[in-house]
Structure 1
Amino acid sequence: MNCCHFALLAGLALLTAPAALPVEPAKAAPVRKLLYPAELRDVPPILQPHVERLLAADQKPIDPAAAKCGGVYARILSKQYAIDGGKLKAGGWLGSRPFVFLTVPEVAYGRDLLGVLAAIGYDLEDILEIEKGVEKVAVVFTFPEKVKGCEAHDGAAADAWAERVYPTTWNNVLGLVDRMAADKARWIAVRPDGGGFVPTKLQLRSEKELSFLLGFPDEGKKRVATTDYAALREVGGSDWAYRQLIERLLGASEHFRGDGKTKLTLAGRRKPRAGFPEFLGPNTELKDLPAVAVVSLGTLRIEE
């Protein structure tokens, strides 16, 4: 991290509310707006307690250890992918991959946008280079009844495994990739240019890449799961190639912990804490979620 990043970090702490709302002092509680549905009374009852706390000006952040999952999830998205003219975006999905990273609504209680992004594992450079000036939202939702929560951490295949929400352990991530790769017709799209939006398939760039994924040995998977990201990158070779592939296919970035918790990327290194509950859930079109609400988290502004 260079010196300009430290200079910019102070500016990131300022949260700009959507244009229709006044800008609050830097230390005030974040000002938020319910984007969908238009009125709080129309929020599905199962979501109302969470939405009320997301909107409350006097809400304090909660400790990650106190956050529990009761079947209501949160996905942080750019507004353009979730909302269009006060309605859910037509053709909008939770994400761009067949399984997407999720957390709990508590991650955004009382936190400004910088705090939320840091609490779900965003890298500082990504915040500086990609997220500044982009309005972000919390999509708070439940899955259709057929999608069940799964407490297993060992990667074993459950019945109807494609309709489960999994804690983000390494075993679960690698198990999901293996099962999808083994069913090419259902889960794989080979696209040499890597382009296009195929939200229900893993996008591979060649048949050779698929063969590499299917043939990667269990010993190598253990090394990837237990070796630091930077060390894998430095050594290179097939382990690093596999780690990069897992990152591209499922979004398991450098800050992926692999223990079912988010990484608090701006927390002190001397006493690192476990983050919020984190899950991989089946990608779903927004219109198919039985209960959904969208809350604006504001926009990051960098002060020069």
Structure 2
Amino acid sequence: MARYAIGDIQGCFDSLQALLAKLGFDPREDVLWSVGDLVNRGPKSLQVLRFFRELGDGARVVLGNHDLYLLMVAAGWRKRGKDDTLQPVLDAPDADALLEWLAHQSLMHVDDGFAMVHAGLLPQWEIGEARALAAEVESMLGSDRRDAFLADLAGNTPASWSAALEGQDRLRCIVNAMTRMRFCTPDGTMEFKHKGPPSNAPAGAMPWFEVPGRRHRTHTVITGHWSALGLYRGEAVVSLDTGCLWGGRLTAYRLEDARIFQVDSVEKAA
């Protein structure tokens, strides 16, 4: 058995299949870990969702910002972007089942010295604390309060974590850190205006994984989200978004031996 963590797919189903063929992936024995952003902007989000749902226990999926965007759009709480490609999902006969499955995926997955989350973790969070905070969001998504939660999820505030935060502010801060963050200050204040490569860090901020003394270094944190960063392996962090959607590559990381596997974007070539 092997476990493969795969970077942002974003509807690039054909590239996913090419990568799985290269891996010799066997769904009867192997397990796929997805860093999130299964959907949107690529051409086959519906096929990607169906594939991962059918894997059942053969998949470990954490939610990315585009996955949450789909849930917000489906609930009527988010205005459609001009470049989103979600209509086939919304029109599918199994849309309700797929959306329900998506809403019940994790925000953070922890196992065997690894912690997988879409974007990152705030420097003051230990792994156990972060996992407990993720569970608060997961509980809301899996409850009859989901609609109200999604209705007020968008926004950049509060930008700093405090254990005293309550209600929607608390949940939004957790979600933003785990699904949207790239840069933060040494005290963990998140900055959302700047994207691009790490060299674009605004004054006083840095990539979240470069903050000195971050408390979650007890585990290797596996992420995606940051295509301008590309494949990155640093101190207790592996980032796997290599821009497949933009004509780059789709990347897998085998947990057992840290080996990297990649395929060129099939969608771009088409």
TM-score normalized with structure 1 length: 0.27
Higher relative contact order (CA 8 A, sep 6+): 1
TM (norm. structure 2) is: 0.29
Which one has the largest radius of gyration? 1
